[in-house]
Chain A
Amino acid sequence: MLEIDNLSAAYGSFQALFGVTLRVDAGEAVGVIGPNGAGKTTLMRVISGLLPGRAGKLTFEGRSLDRVPAYRVVARGIAHVPENRRLFPKLTVEENLRIGAYMPQARKHFAERLGWVYELFPRLAERRSQLAGTMSGGEQQMCAIARALMSKPKLLLLDEPSAGLAPLVVQQVFDLVRKIRSEGFTVLIVEQNVQQLLELIDRAYLLEVGRIRLSGMAAELKANPFVRQAYLGL
């Protein structure tokens, strides 16, 4: 579904990704793990078109995403839940969800999708007229994921969904992601919370200083001595 081949990207003169090759097949949940500053967020931003300057190949469903601006990438079926949630704080929950369905093809099904999202996350239905910025971190993450789902994406990019949340809430967020998975969405997820992530996904890549160091099935990575030592603390 998503194919990335030999991708490099830079912020100005600072190069963040060096020849990254990665694949996500339809129906899969794929994780990208790695330390802070490894380029995980950069990778997400390149895929969704937020970071335009790059070299290498990036195709989605066989069509190139080269020079496709962010607002067109989402129309292709890729929804990005950005790092730190980035809700529109002064809009209500429901208005945030409405923006999520901004694209013409999503607008037509807005009412139906809204009902579905509220069914999936009943908490959001209770909070529908609350300003998004006044909710707790976990609720905001829930809203950010719901906002992305409003466009009915084929591929969902999740960037550090558990970052900055209390341990109990982290567990809830992972449950949310599991729920999304069971709805049949293809997911590419970036996380620092490696242990919990590996329970949730099919395959994973380990990204370090902008390069893919390891990749394999979740179980393989869990058993890998280097991963165990450096990321699982075992």
Chain B
Amino acid sequence: MDIYLVEALLNGLLLGGVLALLALGLNLIFGVIDVVWIAYAELVMCGMYVVYWLYGYYHWPLALAAVLAVLGVAFLGLLVHQLIIAPILGSPAINQLLATGGLLFFLQSFATLLFGTDFRNIGLRLPILEFADMSISFARLIAFGVAVLGAGALYAFLSKSFLGTAIRAIGQDREIVGLMGVDQRRIYLITSAIGGALAGLAACLLVLQYDVHPFIGLSFGPITFMICVLGGLGNMIGGFAAAFIMSEIISIGGFYFSQEIGEVLAFVVFIALIFVRPQGIFGRS
């Protein structure tokens, strides 16, 4: 097999890690609270700015900047729920979509107002790894490793802890969890914070590879939504798998044609699959 095709496959796999992390966050929030955060990728943008300013501009240690970005976006997630979602929780889904859609434009415009439209780079040059004639971006490798660790930690939390079990239970029966002593509002807040933290973690990984600007969310948002729908909305394992399918399509398409065509291909495959299986490839009808 062509060594460059192997390289493309490997890069696709590495790209998939971060996308999977974003899909997990979005699916978690949808599965628990039954809302879609249209502005999810814009939370990632906010996190990228945190790392940029703290590390790239003020030269704080990278690890500290990363931790603060994760915590900061987790808090932002909490605010999104408390200020935007909670007051309209009982209203039709379209209202919630419009409200978080409004947040998307607000965050984009606010970032533009504060920071302008410059593309900002944190100025960290990570090496390119060369082996067997393939070159693999170290930044991507780190991103993949951390994303998989993050997903694993989330899995362990959801399957082993009392809180995690309650988070999984609440989408199955919202009324009865109360009889178990579970305060629904508190679970929603915690879930929103976890969703935010995942976006913050993704931000730390993406800022190693991409410049941050107010519209960077558009590069990840639509693909993340496609992944979630493809995997079956709310289905975390389906979304995780779909992230790798999409990233491989982009990467292999990019190898044979160009990056743009790769993304076009991903959308085409998405549309075709949704015609065949509207509930997503891993969703139940």
Contacts and interface: CB of A to CB of B under 8 A. Distances in A.
Q: Of residues A70, A82, A91, A148, which shows the largest number of chain B Cβ atoms within 10 Å of its Cβ?
A: A70
Contacts of A48: 179
Contact of B179 (A82, A90, A101, A106): A82
A151 interface: yes
27 contacts: A48-B179, A50-B175, A50-B179, A69-B178, A69-B183, A70-B179, A71-B180, A71-B182, A72-B181, A74-B180, A75-B181, A79-B179, A82-B176, A86-B175, A88-B176, A90-B172, A91-B165, A91-B172, A99-B162, A99-B166, A99-B169, A102-B166, A102-B180, A102-B182, A103-B180, A110-B162, A148-B179
Given A70-B179, A99-B180, A100-B180, A88 B172 contact: yes
Interface in B157-209: 162, 165-166, 168-169, 172-173, 175-184
A71 B181 contact: yes
The 3 tightest CB contacts between A and B, nearest first, are A70-B178, A103-B181, A88-B169
Contacts of B162: 98-99, 101-102, 107, 110
Q: Which among A49, A71, A80, A148 has the highest number of chain B CB atoms within 10 Å?
A: A71
A95 interface: yes
A227 to B, nearest CB: 31
A70 to B, nearest CB: 4
Nearest to A75: B181
A72 B178 CA distance: 8
B176 A91 contact: no
Interface of A: 48-50, 69-72, 74-75, 79-80, 82, 86, 88-91, 95, 98-103, 106-107, 110, 147-148, 151
A119 B165 CA distance: 23
Contact of B168 (A70, A72, A86, A91): A91
Nearest to A94: B165
A148 to B, nearest CB: 8
Interface residues of B, number: 17
Interface in B115-168: 162, 165-166, 168
B176 to A, nearest CB: 5
A158 to B, nearest CB: 13
Most central of B168, B177, B179, B181 by chain A CB within 10 Å: B179
A230 B14 CA distance: 71
Contacts of A89: 172
A106 B162 CA distance: 11
Q: Which among B176, B177, B178, B180 has the highest number of chain A CB atoms within 10 Å?
A: B180
Contacts, number: 69
A151 B181 contact: yes
A86 B169 contact: no
Given A71-B182, A71-B183, A98 B175 contact: no
Given A82-B176, A88-B169, 20 more contacts: A48-B179, A49-B178, A50-B178, A69-B183, A71-B180, A71-B181, A71-B183, A74-B179, A82-B179, A86-B176, A88-B168, A88-B173, A95-B165, A95-B168, A98-B165, A99-B162, A99-B166, A102-B162, A102-B180, A103-B180
A91 B168 CA distance: 8
Contacts of B169: 88, 91, 95, 99
B160 to A, nearest CB: 9
B31 to A, nearest CB: 11
Contacts of A102: 162, 165-166, 180-182
A128 to B, nearest CB: 14
A184 B72 CA distance: 51
B177 to A, nearest CB: 7
Most buried by A among B172, B175, B176: B176
Instruction: Count chain A CB atoms within 10 A of each CB in B169, B178, B181 and give the residue with the most.
Output: B181
A79 B178 CA distance: 11
Contact of B181 (A74, A82, A88, A98): A74
B72 to A, nearest CB: 29
Contact of A99 (B165, B175, B183, B184): B165
Contacts of B177: 99
Nearest to A69: B178
A171 B176 CA distance: 26
